[in-house]
Amino acid sequence: MGESTCIFCRIGAGEIPAQFLHQDDTVMAFRDISPKAPTHVLVVPREHILSLAHITGDHGPLLGHMIEVLNQVASAEGLSGRGYRVIANIGADSGSEVDHLHLHLMGGRRLGSMG
């Protein structure tokens, strides 16, 4: 799947609507359309990067900004004091459905064990 068919690239280009919680030149955060928790937000770079496995040293500032945005959204959603989960899936066995780097921010209830 290339950038022209990537759903996250299309969301970033305004071709597909999303419920945005944050947008800037490098990162966007929007609600997952199939939430697995009361709060389920995706934090996505605008740059088409396949996954964390494709990160290089040059991506350090971008990753830092993604975490900063994630923490700001978590605070705005009232999750900071209660706790939340951050997930990044890599590859087919992880259950990843979109080949574009994204962080899942999940919370709003006590989350079960990952095991």
Q: Could you tell me the CA-to-CA distances from 23 to 1, 30, 45, 108 in Å, in that order?
A: 24, 9, 10, 22
Q: Which two tokens stand for residue 56?
A: 């290089």
| 102 included as an active-site residue | yes
pLDDT tens per residue, range 66-89 = 999 999 999 999 999 999 999 999
Q: How confident is the model at residue 2 (pLDDT cuts 50, 70, 90)?
A: low
Its pTM stands at: 0.93
Q: Which CATH class is domain 7-107?
A: alpha beta
Q: Which of 48, 59, 65, 102 is catalytic?
A: 102
